[in-house]
Amino acid sequence: MDDELTIAAMLRRAERYAPDRPVVSREPDRSVHRTSWGEIAARARRLAAALLGLGLAPGARVATLCWSHRQHLELYFAAPIAGLALHPLNPRLHVDDIAYIATHARDEVLVVDESFLPLYERMRETTPFRQVIVVGTATGDAIGYEDLLAEGDPEWQPGVLDEHTTALVGFTSGTAGRPKGVAVSHRAVAVHSLSSALQGWLGIRDTDVLLPVVPMYHALAWGWPYTAALLGAELVLPGPFLDPESLLELCASERVTLTGGVPTVWMGVLRTLDADPGRYDLSAMRAILSGGSTAPPSMITGYAERHQLDLVHTWGMTELMMGAIAELSADLRHAPAEEQRRHRLKQGRPMPFLEIRARRDDGFVAWDGESPGELEIRGPWVATAYLDSPDASAQQWTEDGWFRTGDIVTIAPGGYVEIVDRAKDVVKSGGEWISTPVLEGALMAHPAVAEAAVIGVSDAKWGERPLAVVAFHPGSSATADELREFIARHVARWWLPERIEIVESVAKTTVGKFDKVALRRTFTAPIGADS
């Protein structure tokens, strides 16, 4: 049958087949709220009716400034099943950027956490919304979330929607230039959830307890809220509490089986675990997923060797949510341990239905695990263009319809992708590439090093040279020579950074990646100019 693949069908699945499966959410006062998929679905339908009652036209955009919590989850479903588009805004961006993004996306309604009201106040002049809704106490002309919901018809059911209807709008975190938006259809969400959940990928089933640490305002929380609904898996939402102790507490008390977030989060969690190994019972955890930037090899082995935890590398982008997962294919399951390890350190194989290739100036590169090229990807949940940005779109999509990721990769037989660098971050020294993720990984393997980021700085002789910015663990230190000596065991001599800058903590973006733009701004003095 030609049934539409929609978010309404995914929600119906949760409501009918898994109504009692729990949804757990941390409240602003740290208490834990327990509800179920049945209740979330019923409230989401009612909220959908109430949103339509505001007089919004089909396709109108409902923005959020919210942490990951149960009301945000209800909105993740309510807006799309009403034929509206949900647009989670990143509250950690600069207020001018938030205002720019909301204006660019033509957001009409804003749902805002009470704690973000001061932020909203700073943008209300430049960014007028036709209605503001507060998760918390109503104030001024903003109505309360519960008051709005109470106005909705509890019997309301979604109508049939074309699966190509826009369900969500997401913006890149803008590490290169102004943030760019993409529209995500119902069909994209549905096929992404199906594919990511498959055995051999995330292998999610209804007995799983999922904790997305990646916020609901970044890369749509990798689509996990939808995947959980489709499969009736338990969902745990951390609210504003993203520090290692709070996350570990929640993982232990809720017996979380699968969690996912950016590497800097997992570095902090690993430090906390190392400091007091027996404190948290993580015996239910089957995998911790790390994506968003390169997971340092020493972190992956640290989890495995010291805590018997499986840290799985994944790769994704705002333009496609999750794209690759480093699960081993059948032919590697019986390979020697070292070969398995090498493959587990890569970013992984593209999920089913995604196709990849890598290009360099003279054509596509061989899948030999050595030749680097820019990764191009296509598939049913990859965006087709940036919102209202024909120039940026023409640059990023090829004429034959592939998306150019801006990631420089090698592809090994079987489709294992390894990110060598981001195109905009590569360091080219004397015409040869130096991989910043490899250097960073080598530095972070040093016992004194907590964080390391490498950038390129211009150099009179070599064009560019790597510069490392390093933060030590509290109470630890090493000299630049000791660090160079240490990494020389793993990388070529000519890769060794002449300049190593020691900082308290390496600057990070709003979603927790090392902020190379900020680092370049701080450390731009050319080296070698007078040598």
SS3 letters across 277-333? CCCCCCCCCCEEEECCCCCCHHHHHHHHHHHCCCEEEEEEECCCEEEEECCCCHHHC
Q: How many CA atoms lie within 13 A of 270 on its CB side?
A: 30
Counting contacts by CB under 6 A, is residue 292 touching ligand ADP?
Answer: yes
Is 319 annotated in the active site?
A: yes
Closer CB to ligand ADP, 219 or 449, in the complex: 219
Give the interface segment with ligand ADP, choosing from 189-197, 311-319, 329-337, 364-372 (CB under 6 A): 311-319
Residue 172 annotated in active site: yes
Under the binding rule (CB under 6 A), the answer on residue 90 touching ligand ADP is no
293 is an interface residue for ligand ADP by CB under 6 A: yes
Least distance between ligand ADP and beta carbon 481 (Å): 29
Amino acid, res. 164:
H
Does 452 contact ligand ADP by CB under 6 A?
no
Q: E strands along 335-431, which residues?
A: 349-350, 355-360, 363-364, 373-378, 403-412, 416-422, 427-429
Q: 445: which DSSP letter? A: T
The residues in 217-236 that bind ligand ADP, with binding defined as CB under 6 A, are 219
Q: Is 317 near ligand ADP (CB under 6 A)?
A: yes
Catalytic residue of the set 151, 428, 498, 501: 428
Residue 143, beta-bridge partner list: 133
For residues 1-60, which are near ligand ADP according to CB under 6 A? Answer: none
Residue 456 tokens read as 């390129």
- Distance in angstroms (rounded) separating the CA atoms of residues 23 and 26: 10
Site for ligand ADP contains 294 (CB under 6 A): yes
Binding part of the chain for ligand ADP, among 6-14, 76-84, 285-293, 446-454 by CB under 6 A, reads 285-293
- CB neighbour list of residue 245: distance below 8 Å, 6 or more residues apart: 272
Q: Which of 6, 193, 196, 347 binds ligand ADP (CB under 6 A)?
A: 347
Cβ 65 vs Cβ 29: under 8 Å: no
Count of residues engaged in binding ligand ADP, rule: CB under 6 A: 23
Active site residue 433: yes
What is residue 340's three-state secondary structure?
Answer: helix
Is residue 180 involved in binding ligand ADP (CB under 6 A)?
no
Options 5-13, 38-46, 167-175, 221-229: segment touching ligand ADP (CB under 6 A): 167-175
> What does residue 222 show for φ and ψ, rounded to 5 degrees?
55, 20
Binding to ligand ADP by CB under 6 A, coded x per residue (else -) over 404-443, reads: -xxx-----------x--x---------------------
Segment interacting with ligand ADP (CB under 6 A) among 18-26, 93-101, 170-178, 188-196? 170-178
The answer to whether 297 and 338 are in contact (CB under 8 A) is no
Span from 83-91, 287-295, 357-365, 500-508 in contact with ligand ADP (CB under 6 A): 287-295
Assess 192 for contact with ligand ADP (CB under 6 A).
no
**Active-site residue identified among 114, 433, 498, 501:** 433
338 neighbors 370 (Cβ within 8 angstroms): no
Does 316 participate in binding ligand ADP (rule CB under 6 A)?
yes
Q: Give the shortest CB-464-to-ligand ADP separation in angstroms.
A: 19
Residue among 402, 18, 80, 423 at smallest CA distance from 228: 18
Q: Is 405 a catalytic residue?
A: no
Q: What are the residues whose beta carbons fall under 8 Å from the beta carbon of 413, sequence distance 6 or more?
A: 367, 368, 369
Please give the positions annotated as active site.
Answer: 172, 319, 428, 433
- Point out which residues bind ligand ADP (CB under 6 A): 172-175, 219, 291-294, 313-318, 347, 405-407, 419, 422, 511, 513
